[in-house]
Structure 1
Protein backbone atom coordinates (compact mmCIF):
# COMPACT_ATOMS: atom_id res chain seq x y z
CA UNK A 1 0.00 0.00 0.00
CA UNK A 2 1.96 2.96 -1.19
CA UNK A 3 0.68 6.28 0.03
CA UNK A 4 -0.63 8.75 -2.50
CA UNK A 5 -0.24 12.36 -1.46
CA UNK A 6 -3.36 14.45 -0.82
CA UNK A 7 -2.79 17.85 -2.41
CA UNK A 8 -5.80 20.00 -1.65
CA UNK A 9 -9.48 20.09 -0.82
CA UNK A 10 -10.52 18.38 -4.06
CA UNK A 11 -8.24 15.43 -3.20
CA UNK A 12 -9.57 15.38 0.38
CA UNK A 13 -13.16 15.18 -0.81
CA UNK A 14 -12.47 12.58 -3.49
CA UNK A 15 -10.66 10.32 -1.00
CA UNK A 16 -13.61 10.40 1.40
CA UNK A 17 -16.04 9.57 -1.41
CA UNK A 18 -14.36 6.17 -1.87
CA UNK A 19 -16.90 3.35 -1.52
CA UNK A 20 -16.32 -0.30 -0.59
CA UNK A 21 -12.70 0.19 0.49
CA UNK A 22 -10.92 1.49 3.54
CA UNK A 23 -9.32 4.91 3.23
CA UNK A 24 -6.23 5.32 5.39
CA UNK A 25 -4.94 8.87 5.86
CA UNK A 26 -1.61 9.50 7.55
CA UNK A 27 -1.36 13.16 8.55
CA UNK A 28 2.08 14.55 9.32
CA UNK A 29 3.66 17.99 9.46
CA UNK A 30 6.83 17.64 7.41
CA UNK A 31 8.89 14.52 6.81
CA UNK A 32 7.15 11.17 7.26
CA UNK A 33 8.75 9.62 10.38
CA UNK A 34 10.74 6.39 9.96
CA UNK A 35 8.19 4.16 11.80
CA UNK A 36 5.48 5.33 9.43
CA UNK A 37 7.70 4.70 6.41
CA UNK A 38 8.38 1.18 7.70
CA UNK A 39 4.67 0.64 8.19
CA UNK A 40 3.98 1.78 4.62
CA UNK A 41 6.56 -0.60 3.21
CA UNK A 42 5.07 -3.49 5.21
CA UNK A 43 1.48 -2.62 4.35
CA UNK A 44 1.29 -4.21 0.89
CA UNK A 45 -0.99 -6.79 2.50
CA UNK A 46 -3.69 -4.07 2.70
CA UNK A 47 -3.61 -2.98 -0.94
CA UNK A 48 -6.58 -5.18 -1.88
CA UNK A 49 -8.87 -3.41 0.60
CA UNK A 50 -7.32 -0.02 1.30
CA UNK A 51 -6.43 3.23 -0.42
CA UNK A 52 -3.66 4.94 1.54
CA UNK A 53 -2.90 8.64 1.54
CA UNK A 54 -0.23 10.84 3.05
CA UNK A 55 -1.22 14.34 4.11
CA UNK A 56 1.32 17.04 4.92
CA UNK A 57 -0.67 19.44 7.11
CA UNK A 58 2.22 21.92 7.15
CA UNK A 59 1.84 22.23 3.39
CA UNK A 60 -2.00 22.20 3.52
CA UNK A 61 -3.05 23.69 6.88
CA UNK A 62 -6.71 23.77 5.80
CA UNK A 63 -6.59 19.97 6.07
CA UNK A 64 -6.31 20.20 9.86
CA UNK A 65 -9.81 21.69 10.01
CA UNK A 66 -11.18 19.50 7.24
CA UNK A 67 -10.12 16.28 9.04
CA UNK A 68 -10.34 17.71 12.60
CA UNK A 69 -6.66 16.97 13.25
CA UNK A 70 -5.41 18.25 16.60
CA UNK A 71 -2.06 16.44 16.84
CA UNK A 72 0.41 15.08 14.34
CA UNK A 73 1.14 12.47 13.36
CA UNK A 74 -2.42 11.21 13.17
CA UNK A 75 -3.79 8.21 11.31
CA UNK A 76 -7.44 8.10 10.34
CA UNK A 77 -9.31 5.17 8.82
CA UNK A 78 -12.55 5.73 6.92
CA UNK A 79 -14.93 3.38 5.20
CA UNK A 80 -17.69 4.63 2.91
CA UNK A 81 -17.07 8.18 4.10
CA UNK A 82 -17.41 7.39 7.80
CA UNK A 83 -14.57 7.58 10.28
CA UNK A 84 -13.81 4.14 11.73
CA UNK A 85 -10.66 4.79 13.76
CA UNK A 86 -8.44 7.74 14.66
CA UNK A 87 -5.03 7.44 16.28
CA UNK A 88 -3.11 10.52 17.41
CA UNK A 89 0.67 10.42 17.89
CA UNK A 90 1.01 6.89 16.60
CA UNK A 91 2.74 4.25 18.70
CA UNK A 92 3.58 0.67 17.72
CA UNK A 93 0.49 -0.49 19.65
CA UNK A 94 -1.80 1.92 17.84
CA UNK A 95 -0.32 0.94 14.46
CA UNK A 96 -1.26 -2.67 15.26
CA UNK A 97 -4.82 -1.57 16.10
CA UNK A 98 -5.12 0.13 12.72
CA UNK A 99 -3.67 -2.91 10.94
CA UNK A 100 -6.27 -5.15 12.62
CA UNK A 101 -9.05 -2.95 11.27
CA UNK A 102 -7.58 -2.97 7.76
CA UNK A 103 -7.29 -6.77 7.86
CA UNK A 104 -10.93 -7.24 8.84
Structure 2
Protein backbone atom coordinates (compact mmCIF):
# COMPACT_ATOMS: atom_id res chain seq x y z
CA UNK A 1 0.00 0.00 0.00
CA UNK A 2 1.30 3.44 -0.94
CA UNK A 3 0.31 6.80 0.46
CA UNK A 4 0.70 10.15 -1.25
CA UNK A 5 1.04 12.74 1.50
CA UNK A 6 0.51 16.31 0.40
CA UNK A 7 1.63 18.89 2.93
CA UNK A 8 -0.19 22.23 2.74
CA UNK A 9 0.97 25.25 4.70
CA UNK A 10 -1.81 26.86 6.71
CA UNK A 11 0.29 29.74 8.05
CA UNK A 12 2.58 32.41 6.68
CA UNK A 13 6.18 31.48 5.83
CA UNK A 14 7.57 33.36 8.84
CA UNK A 15 5.40 31.17 11.11
CA UNK A 16 6.57 27.96 9.37
CA UNK A 17 10.30 28.76 9.45
CA UNK A 18 10.90 28.15 13.19
CA UNK A 19 9.66 24.55 12.79
CA UNK A 20 11.82 23.53 9.82
CA UNK A 21 14.53 21.87 11.94
CA UNK A 22 11.96 19.67 13.68
CA UNK A 23 10.26 18.87 10.39
CA UNK A 24 13.57 17.83 8.79
CA UNK A 25 14.33 15.55 11.78
CA UNK A 26 10.84 14.05 11.38
CA UNK A 27 11.51 13.37 7.69
CA UNK A 28 14.92 11.85 8.40
CA UNK A 29 13.46 9.55 11.08
CA UNK A 30 10.79 8.17 8.75
CA UNK A 31 13.18 7.87 5.79
CA UNK A 32 15.57 5.89 8.03
CA UNK A 33 12.68 3.63 9.11
CA UNK A 34 11.89 2.98 5.44
CA UNK A 35 8.38 4.41 5.61
CA UNK A 36 9.12 7.50 3.52
CA UNK A 37 10.44 6.70 0.05
CA UNK A 38 10.47 10.22 -1.39
CA UNK A 39 9.97 13.65 0.13
CA UNK A 40 10.40 17.14 -1.22
CA UNK A 41 9.03 20.59 -1.66
CA UNK A 42 6.35 21.31 -4.19
CA UNK A 43 6.80 23.94 -6.88
CA UNK A 44 6.20 26.67 -5.98
CA UNK A 45 7.74 25.96 -2.57
CA UNK A 46 5.28 28.27 -0.83
CA UNK A 47 2.57 25.63 -1.31
CA UNK A 48 4.19 22.98 0.91
CA UNK A 49 5.60 19.57 0.10
CA UNK A 50 4.84 15.98 -0.75
CA UNK A 51 5.88 12.54 0.50
CA UNK A 52 5.44 9.05 -0.92
CA UNK A 53 5.16 6.56 1.93
CA UNK A 54 4.71 2.79 2.04
CA UNK A 55 4.67 -0.26 4.26
CA UNK A 56 2.09 0.93 6.77
CA UNK A 57 -1.70 1.00 6.82
CA UNK A 58 -3.89 4.09 6.59
CA UNK A 59 -4.38 4.44 10.36
CA UNK A 60 -0.63 4.33 10.94
CA UNK A 61 0.15 6.90 8.26
CA UNK A 62 -2.49 9.20 9.78
CA UNK A 63 -0.75 8.84 13.16
CA UNK A 64 2.63 9.53 11.56
CA UNK A 65 1.46 12.69 9.79
CA UNK A 66 -0.13 13.94 13.01
CA UNK A 67 3.35 13.87 14.61
CA UNK A 68 4.97 16.21 12.07
CA UNK A 69 6.12 19.34 13.93
CA UNK A 70 4.52 21.46 11.22
CA UNK A 71 1.18 19.85 12.11
CA UNK A 72 1.62 19.83 15.89
CA UNK A 73 2.49 23.53 15.75
CA UNK A 74 -0.54 24.35 13.59
CA UNK A 75 1.30 25.68 10.54
CA UNK A 76 0.44 22.89 8.07
CA UNK A 77 -1.92 20.02 7.40
CA UNK A 78 -1.76 16.86 5.29
CA UNK A 79 -4.00 15.47 2.59
CA UNK A 80 -3.53 11.69 2.39
CA UNK A 81 -4.31 9.67 -0.72
CA UNK A 82 -3.93 5.91 -0.27
CA UNK A 83 -3.05 3.93 -3.39
CA UNK A 84 -3.19 0.21 -4.03
CA UNK A 85 -0.68 -0.22 -6.86
CA UNK A 86 -2.05 -2.10 -9.84
CA UNK A 87 1.15 -1.97 -11.84
CA UNK A 88 4.69 -1.45 -10.59
CA UNK A 89 7.77 -0.71 -12.67
CA UNK A 90 10.22 -3.63 -12.33
CA UNK A 91 12.88 -1.28 -10.92
CA UNK A 92 10.59 -0.56 -7.94
CA UNK A 93 9.21 -4.06 -7.34
CA UNK A 94 11.74 -4.94 -4.62
CA UNK A 95 11.05 -1.72 -2.74
CA UNK A 96 7.27 -1.75 -2.94
CA UNK A 97 6.26 -4.84 -1.06
CA UNK A 98 3.07 -5.52 0.83
CA UNK A 99 5.11 -6.49 3.88
CA UNK A 100 4.49 -4.18 6.85
CA UNK A 101 7.60 -2.42 8.10
CA UNK A 102 8.97 -2.99 11.59
CA UNK A 103 8.85 0.50 13.09
CA UNK A 104 10.09 -0.33 16.55
TM-score of the two chains, using structure 2 as the length reference: 0.31
Ranked by relative contact order (alpha carbons within 8 Å, sequence separation 6 or more), the top structure is 2
Larger radius of gyration: 2
Q: TM-score, normalised by structure 1?
A: 0.31
